A and B are shown apart, each in its own frame.
Chain A
Amino acid sequence: MNKSETTSTEPRLNELEAHLAGTLKRVPPRRDFVQRLRSYIHFPPREEIATRLHDWRKLFIIFGSVVSGMLLLITVARALYHLFGRRNMG
């Protein structure tokens, strides 16, 4: 028999739509699950922060910035010493 022919067990399309509407109903997620995920979104756990710190590119930039800053401070300190320190000694 041709499949498109309707038999006693094959519902008509409008009946099938009614069955689909009755079957595919919205299921609300559990409240504690929604709340837990909401908390995560607003306050990421420590693990995530740790994972971000493991990002090597960021670590390289941070390390580079710290070293550059220290070098700049040392240079400024040496310049000040040469300008004022020697004058005081003389």
Chain B
Amino acid sequence: MPELEFNEDEVLLLASRGDREAFGLLYERYIDRIFNYVYYRTGNLHDAEDITARVFQRAMSHIRSYTDRGVPFSAWLYRIAHNLVANWHRDRSRKQEIPLDDLPLASAKVDRPEATLMRSQEQDALLRLIRQLPAERQTLLILKFVEDLSNAEIGRIMGRSEGAVKSLYHRTLLALRDQIGDQNINLEGE
């Protein structure tokens, strides 16, 4: 979907004064990004929809107190999403149901066959490994590969320098490679 053309600062100002239409424009711009972030953090489409809805409900109810501190508006949304995903993980670990690694992918296949059936076993294994990474590393990979953002853009969202993002990315790749080796996952089978 093509990105809506508008001056985000002006729209943000209107939205922070309670203009619903202005907030609607921000919603249209960020709904896909936030949904994808939450989806890859949870691996479950139902929960991803539920959490995404709560992200925008919370953003809408707090938009009046939003202040521009020089970071992109998306960083504010990702922060809300991050907090809600963290709560979701906490609630699930308290309930101690089915292991975290297995359930999301299994339920995702049932919820959305067209989106997941094309995934190979190797990709499923890789996704499980990604979900075992610390939250900030997962965020970095999602922003880099799903959102196709540059290190500089990721840095602005994550509140880090471009160099720090580059370094974190390299360490993340090394950690993933080691995990793949430890768990004997063969990515060549595609």
Contacts and interface: CB of A to CB of B under 8 A. Distances in A.
A15 B188 CA distance: 9
Given A29-B52, A37-B52, A37-B56, A22 B27 contact: no
A70 B136 CA distance: 58
Contact of B20 (A10, A13, A42): A42
Contacts of A26: 32, 36, 146-147
Nearest to B185: A9
B135 to A, nearest CB: 15
A82 B131 CA distance: 80
B75 to A, nearest CB: 20
Interface in B45-89: 45, 48-49, 52-53, 56-57, 60
Given A4-B174, A23-B123, A38 B27 contact: yes
Bin the interface of chain B by size: 35 or more
Contact of A30 (B49, B56, B123): B49
A34 B188 CA distance: 37
Interface residues of A, number: 29
Contacts of B130: 23-24
Dominant secondary structure of chain A at its interface with chain B: helix
Nearest to A15: B187
B178 to A, nearest CB: 5
Nearest to A10: B181
9 contacts: A11-B177, A13-B174, A19-B187, A25-B145, A29-B49, A29-B52, A33-B49, A33-B52, A37-B56
